[in-house]
Chain A
Amino acid sequence: MTNVTTPNGFSLDNSGRRVVVDPVTRIEGHLRVEVNVDSDNVIRNAVSTGTMWRGIETILRGRDPRDAWAFTERICGVCTGTHALTSVRAVENALGIMIPDNANSIRNIMQLTLQVHDHIVHFYHLHALDWVDIVSALKADPKATSLLAQSVSDWPLSSPGYFKDLQTRLTKFVESGQLGPFKNGYWGHAAYKLPPEANLMAVAHYLEALDFQKEIVKIHTIYGGKNPHPNWLVGGVPCAINVDGTGAVGAINMERLNLVSSIIDRAIEFTEKVYLPDVAAIGSFYKDWLHGGGLSGKSVMSYGDIPENANDYSAKNLNLPRGVIINGNLAEVLPIDLGDPEQVQEFVTHSWYKYPDETKGLHPWDGVTEPNYQLGPNAKGTKTNIQAVDEAAKYSWIKSPRWRGHAVEVGPLARYIVGYAQNKPEFKEPTDKLLKTLGLPLTALFSTLGRTAARALECQWAGHQLRHFQDKLVARIKNGDSSTANVEKWKPESWPANAKGVGFTEAPRGALAHWIKIKDTKIDNYQCVVPTTWNGSPRDPKGNIGAFEASLMNTPMADPEKPLEILRTLHSFDPCLACSTHVMSEDGQEKSRVTVR
């Protein structure tokens, strides 16, 4: 290939210089990206290679389906609870188990808590430094920073003295040489656009968010019994409710319900007074950097989540929207059936796995994960030291899931686009308002910045949904309903010899589903298709590129040796694979590696 146009409408040209960004960590969870840039340093071809686990079915086969959640919770450090929830839903779907309404409310609260927590931590601790220059913050005028902060929000921590103290602390930290989380930044890079004062304000909120996030997860401790790794239960939730109880270990009483309530209030306040104003303020300096849209303006998908009433997973009962948009046709939101073998299929033509017939995809109920690691004829380097992959051949450990053959983007932006297309006011109105504040058209949403903004808007939405389900739960409890689990079908003797099911959620980073087959009361097959598999997928047999690759196309780079633009766009997906340039050398020091060929 030198120049081809993909069926999903991207012109790829791999004749220019190849730039490789590779964290080169051995263990799971790394992402490698190779791009070709033209003579103006504009990206004309993008190839993303990821590692993933090699199929949870190898570990789960033969085990008790009621324990699957505990295993899937360990797959990933950031999606723990959402994997567990997806798992119990899959088992309940297979066995026809209904959960009580209180369990539905508590599960929604657990899931929404994860959304709020993950979105805040993602923005401030994993993504903000792609927009915010720490070193520049050291030059800010604390007084001017205070004026700026007070002009965007009435958040109380905004005095000149507060910013002055913070700046002193930060200076000390940077001068000690212990850059810590700020190591490896491309400080001073031409793609940083914020004035020093905006940088200092953002760093202050970076620290406040780090301190605040511990409050949010207390909700997981209360309803899940412990954190990290809260408990889940097929048939409901494992916590008991006893409103009159005082200090009964583990039981939910009024004191605990009130604590959850106050945490929800604070989460809403932090989102509305700090997170959203920061995103709008930062966005206002990057209005001319609307790259990174990729598939978002074409094809997006959301499974939907947060069922209003228990046991109804149809689109009309889901508070997060459900549907697919293809080829930018916002006038039509297509329905999804995860049990239909023709809809979700995974391909391995370009993945390091083996299928009997690789021109065809497999529905996850029939999915297999058999490794087949081989490099293409045009790859450079060796199997243990790849210098450049051959994207015409197999080049990633990620499979290529497709919806009716289409590559789609998933995540908060996809959810907002689907909700917007369905004219749901709770998604449309805040989006229009933010665009109007920034003076941007709707098309600006289809960008890296749009992805980051949608996440912030969703965090606000999730905060108010938390309030809604907490109030709903408390009202039912006050009416005397303390039921949290249905154990009617707990005993395996009550199960059919063969059963299959699918469970889905919207994880913070996008659509997540587990497909399970149960035979003679044990797990026979178990497949997870995770959000980063959708977004980070390699090409499919028809040549369609996935969301990561599409998002990098046509982005101009200020300096290919310092690929800040690539990191900024990939981080905006909140991938559960890392895609930093952090690399560990043998003495334990971090260094980054970017190769330009």
Chain B
Amino acid sequence: MTAVLDTDSSATGAAAADRRVLVLGIGNILWADEGFGVRVVEEFHHRYILPDNVTLLDGGTQGLYLVNFVQEADDLIVFDAIDYGVAPGTLKLVRDDEVPKFTGVKKMSLHQTGFQEVLSAADLLGQYPKRLVLIGCQAQDLEDWGGPLTEPVRAQIGPAIEAACAVLTEWGVPVTPRTTPLADSEALLGNDIDLARYERRETANASGG
């Protein structure tokens, strides 16, 4: 286990490398804006290189099965679509104790296990992240089966990544822009479900496999 650190102060660079950080995107890519969280981590991976102590994870709709990833994290950033009846594309960043109640609105598919329940399960197991940030985007359409991200939500992928970078920097985690583009085989989502090909915004390559 990682040594217990003072959770109130920003960790120094050296200590930060010992902490395990999870950057998690959740949601269902088949339901339009529901896929926001997954699309953000996908794009994050395209833009930046993260140190070994940081895990970037496409959590999909795995619900309770994500509890072990959460348990192992000292610090956690979650991207998710939210629904608070505000203007579509509104980005919201909430921290620590505020997170569970903000993730409660939307249920993921795993037997309706919401992320709120994933967090309390981790808590019950006695391993709750010390620092927790939710970066949520107000969805416009969660019911368009097979549909693309709506424009206002799509426009927030970049700002959401930048918000996360600011948090990581604050935590002393170095975030390095990629100088050479990520190879297709290294992408988080492949087999035609990456954002561009899923939305058929470009002609898919001859070999999709």
Contact = CB atoms under 8 A, between A and B. Distances in A.
Interface of A: 23, 25-30, 53-55, 58-59, 63-64, 66-67, 69-71, 74-78, 80, 121, 125-126, 169, 173, 178-181, 207, 210-211, 213-214, 217, 228-229, 233-234, 490, 575-576, 578, 580, 582, 584, 586-590
A180 B120 contact: yes
Interface string B64-83: 11111001000000000000
A71 B209 contact: no
Interface stretch (B1-9, B43-51, B139-147, B157-165): B139-147
Contact of A228 (B58, B101, B106): B58
B190 A74 contact: no
B123 A70 contact: no
Contact of B104 (A67, A77, A589): A589
B63 interface: yes
B101 A578 contact: no
A586 B83 CA distance: 9
B192 A27 contact: no
Contacts, number: 151
B125 interface: yes
B59 A228 contact: yes
A53 B61 CA distance: 14
Interface residues on B, range: 35 or more
A121 B64 contact: yes
B88 interface: no
B156 interface: no
A126 B111 contact: yes
Contacts of B105: 584, 586, 588
Contacts of B110: 77-78
Nearest to A238: B209
Given A78-B111, A228-B65, 5 more contacts: A28-B28, A121-B65, A181-B120, A214-B71, A228-B59
B30 A23 contact: no
B207 to A, nearest CB: 8
A501 to B, nearest CB: 17
Interface centre among A77, A178, A180, A490 (most CB of B within 10 A): A77
B108 interface: yes
Given A67-B191, A74-B30, A181-B120, A582 B107 contact: yes
A144 B7 CA distance: 40
Contact of B192 (A25, A28, A67, A77): A67
Contacts of B61: 74, 76-77
A207 B209 contact: no
Contact of A27 (B59, B68, B106): B106
B104 A588 contact: yes
B191 A69 contact: yes
B62 interface: yes
A217 B65 CA distance: 9
Contacts of A125: 64, 121
Nearest to B190: A70
B117 interface: yes
Contacts of B64: 121, 125
Contact of A28 (B63, B85, B109, B111): B109
Contacts of A178: 120, 123
Nearest to A214: B68
A587 B30 contact: no
29 contacts: A23-B112, A25-B107, A25-B112, A26-B142, A26-B143, A28-B28, A28-B109, A53-B30, A54-B145, A59-B145, A64-B204, A71-B192, A76-B109, A77-B60, A173-B123, A178-B120, A180-B116, A180-B121, A181-B117, A213-B65, A213-B68, A228-B66, A576-B109, A580-B111, A584-B106, A584-B114, A586-B84, A589-B101, A590-B116
Contacts of B125: 207, 210-211
A480 to B, nearest CB: 28
Contacts of A63: 192, 208
Contact of B208 (A67, A179, A229): A67
A64 B62 contact: no
A64 B101 CA distance: 41
Given A67-B192, A70-B193, A77-B62, A181 B124 contact: yes
B199 to A, nearest CB: 11
Contact of B209 (A28, A29, A217, A490): A490
A49 B103 CA distance: 26
Given A53-B145, A181-B120, A229 B30 contact: no
A59 B102 contact: no
A207 B67 CA distance: 12
A142 B58 CA distance: 41
B109 A180 contact: no
B109 A584 contact: no
B117 A66 contact: no
Contacts of B111: 78, 126, 575-576, 578, 580
Nearest to A69: B191
B29 interface: yes
A27 B63 CA distance: 15
Given A180-B124, A228-B58, A74 B65 contact: no
A584 B109 CA distance: 14
B94 to A, nearest CB: 11
B40 to A, nearest CB: 16
Given A70-B190, A74-B193, A229 B109 contact: no
Contacts of B119: 180
B90 to A, nearest CB: 15
Contacts of B101: 587-589
- In the A-B complex, the 3 residue pairs with the smallest Cβ-Cβ separation, listed nearest first, are A180-B120, A578-B112, A77-B61
A23 B107 CA distance: 11
Contacts of A169: 126
Given A53-B145, A54-B145, A67 B209 contact: yes
A55 B146 CA distance: 10
A75 B40 CA distance: 19
A178 B66 CA distance: 20
B145 A75 contact: no
B30 A59 contact: yes
